[in-house]
Amino acid sequence: MAQWIECIPNISEGRRPEVIEAVAAAVRGVPGVVLLSVESDKDHNRTVITFAGPPGPVAEAAVRCAAEAKARIDLTRHEGAHPRMGACDVIPFVPLSGATMEDCVALARRVGERVARELEIPTYLYGEAAARPERRILANVRKGQFEGMRDAVGTDPARDPDFGPRAVHPTAGATAVGARFFLIAYNVNLKSDDVALAKEIAKKVREKDGGMPGVQCMGFFLEEKRCAQVSMNLLDYRKTSPQAVFDAVRRIAAERGVEVLESEMIGLLPRDAVDACFKEATLCANFTPDAVIETRIEKSRTALESPAEFLDALASREPVPGGGSAAALAGAMGASLVAMIANLTLGKKKYEAAEARMRSILGRAEALRAELFGLVRTDTEAYARVMEAYKLPKDAPERAAAIERALQGAAAPPLRMAELCAETCELSAEAVAIGNRNAISDGGGGALLAEAAALLAADNVRINLGGVGDAAYRTGIGERLKGFLARAKAAASKARTVVEHATAG
């Protein structure tokens, strides 16, 4: 049986869709990896990214995720309710089909060493991968958070990392890499703004204070919803299920005269952790069958295996998939044609001088193809969240913010498409100039498809931005989009000129 491992990096960014999409794109660009979910929390200022696949691709995606987070997140400017010590705060691995905990421990140690060596970020091993007993618990590793660790690491030998420099990175902090059983992140929101009550409930239900086994818990105030939240990690749902902990929170709150507003899942959960009545019994606002990891993997592994099925779905009366997904697929086809001319050039004695550059073009074209193909599904999921936001009751206090967040999130995938398509056009222009003359029309076709895809993606960005209230955000995205389209147009024109000259008469 093939090994499948789940990885769930948590990054310290939940408010800037363009940053979140860039980090997700780094994962999506690794062949063999299935990106399962990207879930952000504005108050916590944190995003949970879930992906799965064989050990090798999953390890590569984890390192790329940490690298992109390092490049785009500055912890000296970060504020949020959730404890954090790193731009890519934590990278846990969980065994799925065909994999064991020992496999995940080995993978965690390998990835931890790479993050430290390649990114110069101090890395700690935790959970089942911990090299020191006290570091099995993540809270012990993260004690003091980013600010406190800046003073402790390098002066206190007990805080030395397992890999990397004995000092936190100035902006990216430190990262914890581990292996663990399936953890369920689960929140219960109260019909109250009493944070003291949320903290009291947290103390009563968490294991370390004599509460329920395998429960870690904290109390927060959610600015966006203006309510108190009991935020939990369930370390072993076989010992304490989401239903059991919800019932306990509701009972304790009721004893204080407070009702539960709702509960919510963060990320995915196993099929046997819930029953058919879970959504209604726990008032879980965001639970759908797709929140079950086995269901998500099954769908992701079979998505778009049949072009006919995709075309049928595209032509249907359903709003998704739509133009954004079509743009991503066209862009992926364009990148595939660039890879084609590169493959047909490599190894040909006549084009020996172009061998090294064509090998580089091929590698990048393959990466572009993989990421653009992944955006087919991502765009569909992003617009589905817009539709969900608009379905909220018109008098719901969180509706406006939910719509704003969803629209910004829906603008991010096509913006990324436009950027990738501009690069595809530029690769095409270079490939047709130095590549195999017999494949020049194919290579040039890559630029035509990619430019068309960029234009279609741009329309999707603009239509989503039309409903966004943040003027500064709209302006910033608009300027970036303009630059991508200019690059695509110039490179496609250049490629077309080469093709027309070579095929004339």
Enzyme catalytic residues: 82, 379
**What whole-number distance in Å separates Cα of residue 373 and Cα of residue 262?**
36
Residue partners of 6: CB distance under 8 A and separation at least 6: 36, 50, 51, 52, 58, 93, 94, 95, 96, 182, 293
**What whole-number distance in Å separates Cα of residue 19 and Cα of residue 491?**
26
**Residue 193, SS3 per DSSP:** coil
Going from the C-alpha of 485 to that of each of 122, 311, 452, 482, the distances in angstroms are 39, 26, 10, 5
Query: Do residues 89 and 176 make contact, with C-beta atoms less than 8 angstroms apart?
Result: yes
Encoded tokens for 40? 């952000």
List the alpha helices (DSSP H) in 100-194: 101-119, 138-141, 145-152
**What whole-number distance in Å separates Cα of residue 104 and Cα of residue 335?**
34
Nearest CA to 51 out of 71, 65, 40 is that of 65
Terminal C-alpha separation, the chain: 57
**Residue 242, SS3 per DSSP:** helix
Residue partners of 161: CB distance under 8 A and separation at least 6: 116, 122, 123, 124, 153, 174
**Residue 288, SS3 per DSSP:** coil
Going from the C-alpha of 382 to that of each of 286, 331, 408, the distances in angstroms are 15, 18, 9
**What whole-number distance in Å separates Cα of residue 414 and Cα of residue 167?**
38
- Other C-beta atoms lying within 10 Å of the C-beta of residue 417: 34
